[in-house]
Chains A and B, each alone.
Chain A
Amino acid sequence: GAVVSQHPSRVICKSGTSVKIECRSLDFQATTMFWYRQFPKQSLMLMATSNEGSKATYEQGVEKDKFLINHASLTLSTLTVTSAHPEDSSFYICSAREGGGRGSPLHFGNGTRLTVT
């Protein structure tokens, strides 16, 4: 089945530093990838839609200058949390749609547990 790989799985950083998270589709091309954030015991909240070769589409309330998204190829999207603060600590999960069709299953990466100290 379709596999989405996400790295790193866990990162601890100091306040003010930047962290880059990678999301790769391993056996299919993904023109669109999605970035979610999940706080403990809460649902997945869509942060932004990453579009290959164009600018990402951010959800309302998500700072595009803080959460930089780059989708430079059909198999790789990156999320960079800039100047991270403790309130950015969360579980970040990427996903990609197999087959590209909007009714196709959505597959998730393993997630990245970010802790900002």
Chain B
Amino acid sequence: GENVEQHPSTLSVQEGDSAVIKCTYSDSASNYFPWYKQELGKRPQLIIDIRSNVGEKKDQRIAVTLNKTAKHFSLHITETQPEDSAVYFCAAIKTSGSRLTFGEGTQLTVNP
């Protein structure tokens, strides 16, 4: 089955700096990669996703890049703000299947 590894497990940045979270996946058939933000005690919220036919996608301060050859994808947050502090999860799935595999999560702390 799919295995998703996520790094780092914790990340602390100063407000205004950029944050990068990286994930690797094992199943080359995976072709949909969402990113979720989860605040303490709350549900995961989809913040951005990317499909395998695209190498990069951007939505305001958030961007995701995908390298299919290397089987890794990354989340980039620019101009970080304290409200970006949360746990971020990457995930991977192949659209022919139904099982979404999550990474272990990254606790992002943005210090004011």
Contacts and interface: CB of A to CB of B under 8 A. Distances in A.
Interface of A: 32, 34, 41-44, 46, 49, 91, 93, 101-103, 105-111, 113
Contact of A102 (B36, B42, B98, B107): B98
Contact of A43 (B51, B95, B105): B105
B97 A102 contact: yes
Given A34-B100, A46-B100, A102-B93, A93 B105 contact: no
Contacts of A32: 98
Contact of B51 (A34, A42, A93, A103): A103
Contacts of A42: 104-105
Contacts, number: 52
Contact of A49 (B36, B94, B98, B101): B98
Given A102-B95, A106-B46, A111-B42, A43 B31 contact: no
B96 interface: yes
Contact of B99 (A49, A91, A109): A49
A46 B95 CA distance: 17
Contacts of B107: 41
A107 B42 CA distance: 13
Contacts of A107: 46
B41 A43 contact: no
Contact of B32 (A44, A46, A49, A103): A103
A106 B103 contact: no
B54 to A, nearest CB: 12
B43 interface: yes
A99 to B, nearest CB: 12
B89 interface: yes
Given A49-B98, A109-B43, 14 more contacts: A44-B89, A46-B100, A46-B101, A93-B43, A103-B31, A103-B32, A103-B93, A103-B95, A105-B34, A105-B49, A106-B46, A106-B100, A107-B46, A110-B43
A111 B43 contact: yes
